[in-house]
């Protein structure tokens, strides 16, 4: 499935921010304190009176403990049976790798599955991730390394790993050949889409918060730009 085909669907970032905040029972004042932004700035974003910058979205995602992609998610229609031809998979490329959806994004249930392809040196980014649910990893080809709560697990072709995903985890290609692995995440919170954490981690920029603020200023935004 081509992510960029057809008509682009407009997503109300302010409405998504309000939804994410209310789902987590976080008040406007509490989010302002956690993110370092003013309550007035947050109110303007939620009411659609201003568009948030990259650094603002990063701060809000960190404060709400969600991947930044959660602000742009448009929920597709869910189905009880999902059949995907290989050519119809949702493909999300990242540095030295690609994540291919196996239908979980359309399934009416709390199961997500995706195929991970990693070239030599590919990883899930500079930081660990945490999300709800249980995670099963099955290595199809190559050698990959999973770190869970500081413990290292090496998976060769045919090996598997199962763990509670509310533990800090991270993956990378630790061998010299291409890795193919299937990851299945189940029993996660209804408000989460766990694959987003893996996508966001793999695509994460290595910029610090100060560097993001500097980038906004270079683009002409004032220091308290939202």
Domains of the chain: 13-74+207-218 (1.10.260.40), 86-193 (2.60.120.10)
pLDDT value at residue 203? 63
Judged against a pLDDT cut of 90, whether residue 205 lies above it is answered with no
Percent helix, strand and coil across the chain, each to the nearest 5: 30, 25, 45
Helices (runs of H) and strands (runs of E) counted in the chain: 6, 9
How far apart are alpha carbons 196 and 71 in whole angstroms? 11
pLDDT value at residue 74? 62
Judged against a pLDDT cut of 90, whether residue 114 lies above it is answered with yes
Judged against a pLDDT cut of 50, whether residue 212 lies above it is answered with no
How far apart are alpha carbons 4 and 8 in whole angstroms? 8
Q: Report percent pLDDT > 90 for the chain.
A: 35
How far apart are alpha carbons 88 and 82 in whole angstroms? 11
- Residue 155 backbone dihedrals phi, psi, to 5 degrees: -115, 120
3 state SS of 127:
coil
Judged against a pLDDT cut of 60, whether residue 220 lies above it is answered with no
How far apart are alpha carbons 59 and 45 in whole angstroms? 13
Q: Average model confidence (pLDDT) for the chain?
A: 80
Give pLDDT tens digits for 166-186: 999 999 998 889 999 999 999
Cβ distance 212 to 54 under 8 Å? yes
- Selected residue with higher pLDDT from 39 and 200: 39
pLDDT value at residue 224? 46
Q: What is the reported pTM?
A: 0.65
């Amino acid at each position: 499935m081509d992510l960029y085909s057809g008509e682009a669907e407009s997503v109300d970032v302010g409405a998504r921010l309000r939804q994410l905040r209310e789902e987590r029972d976080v008040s406007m004042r509490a989010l302002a304190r956690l993110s370092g932004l003013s309550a007035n700035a947050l109110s303007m974003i939620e009411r659609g009176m201003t568009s948030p910058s990259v650094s603002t979205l990063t701060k809000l995602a960190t404060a709400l403990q969600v991947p930044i992609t959660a602000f742009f998610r448009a929920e597709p229609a869910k189905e009880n049976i999902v059949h995907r031809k290989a050519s119809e998979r949702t493909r999300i490329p990242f540095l030295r790798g690609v994540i291919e959806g196996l239908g979980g994004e359309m399934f009416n249930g709390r199961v997500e599955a995706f195929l991970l392809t990693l070239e030599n040196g590919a990883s899930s980014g500079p930081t660990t991730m945490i999300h709800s649910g249980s995670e099963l990893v099955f290595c199809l080809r190559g050698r990959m390394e999973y770190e869970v709560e500081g413990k290292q697990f090496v998976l060769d072709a045919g090996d598997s790993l199962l763990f509670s995903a509310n533990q800090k985890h991270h993956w990378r290609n630790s061998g010299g050949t291409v890795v193919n692995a299937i990851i299945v995440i189940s029993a996660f919170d209804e408000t989460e889409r766990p694959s987003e954490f893996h996508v966001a981690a793999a695509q994460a920029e290595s910029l610090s918060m100060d560097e993001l603020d500097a980038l906004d200023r270079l683009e002409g935004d004032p220091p308290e730009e939202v």
